[in-house]
Amino acid sequence: MFGFVVLIVAVIWTVSARKSIRPVLAWGMGLGIAGGILGGIGILPFLGALNALGIGSAVGAVVGMTRAFRHATSAKPNVPADFAATYAHDNIAVNGRDQLWLRDTNGSEVVLSKYEVREWSHLWHPDRGYKGNNRLELRTIRLDRPVVTVAFRRHSETVFGAPKNAQEAEEWHARLSAFLQRS
C-alpha cells in the first residue's frame, strides 16, 4: 500500500511540475512488478508478494521522478513570442531581422544584433569517449555582456544523450556561422 501511495504522489508532483510522467510510471510499475515476482517466488525472504510489489513501486517511483526532473527538459524553446524566431532551440534562436535571442547558462536572456557578435565557438569537455557539457560561447562588442555562454542540455549527459547534445551544438555552430557571415 505504501508503495502505491508513493507512486501516486510522485505522479502528481511530476505532473504539477509539467514534466513527463512516463519515467515515473515506467520505473514504478517495472520495479513494482519485479518486486512482486521476486517476493512471490520466495527470492526476497520475509517479504510477501504484495509487500515486495509495494516497495518496488515506491523505489521505482522515486527513481522515475528523479529521472523526469533531472533529464527531461522541455523540447519547446521558451523564446519570447515577439521575437518571431525562424530557428529555435532551448536556449538560442535566430529570426529574419538579423537578431539572436540567447539564454545564458545563469538564466539571463539577451537579444543581440548579428553585428554585435565578434566570434563564436563550440566548447565541450571530453568525457568517457564523448563530448560532454556542450555549449556555445559568443563574444560580443557589448560592454555589459562581453561573453554569452549558451548551454545545450536537452538530453542527459550520459553516453546516450551527450552525443545528441554535441550534434545539436555543432549544428547551431554551423547555423551561426551561416547566419552571422551572410550580408
User: Is residue 76 assigned to a domain?
Assistant: no
Domain range for 16: 2-71
Q: pLDDT at residue 72 above 60?
A: no
Over the stretch 132-143, which tens digit does the pLDDT of each residue have? 899 999 999 999
User: Is residue 18 assigned to a domain?
Assistant: yes
CATH code of the domain covering residue 147: 2.30.29
Least confident span in 8-12, 143-147, 159-163: 8-12
Tell which wins on pLDDT, 159 or 87.
87
Q: pLDDT at residue 128 above 50?
A: yes
Number of domains in the chain: 2
Over the stretch 20-67, which tens digit does the pLDDT of each residue have? 777 777 777 787 787 778 777 777 666 677 777 777 777 777 777 777
**By 3-state DSSP, what share of the chain in percent is helix, strand and coil, each rounded to 5?**
45, 25, 30
106 and 41, same structural domain? Answer: no
Q: pLDDT at position 1, please?
A: 59
CB contact at 8 A, 21 and 38: no
99 and 51, same structural domain? Answer: no
**Average pLDDT score over the chain:** 82
User: Is residue 89 assigned to a domain?
Assistant: yes
Dist CA 54 CA 147 (whole Å): 51
| Of 70, 72, 68, 74, the residue nearest 14 (C-alpha) | 68
pTM over 0.75: no
What share of the chain has pLDDT > 90, as a percent? Answer: 38
| Of 79, 53, 97, the residue nearest 150 (C-alpha) | 79
Q: Rounded to an integer, what is the distance from CA 146 to the centroid of its chain?
A: 27
Query: How far from 125 is each of 64, 72, 85, 162, 164, CA to CA, in Å?
Result: 28, 22, 29, 11, 14
Residue 18 binned pLDDT confidence (cut-offs 50, 70, 90)? low
User: Is residue 110 assigned to a domain?
Assistant: yes
Average pLDDT over residues 126-132: 82
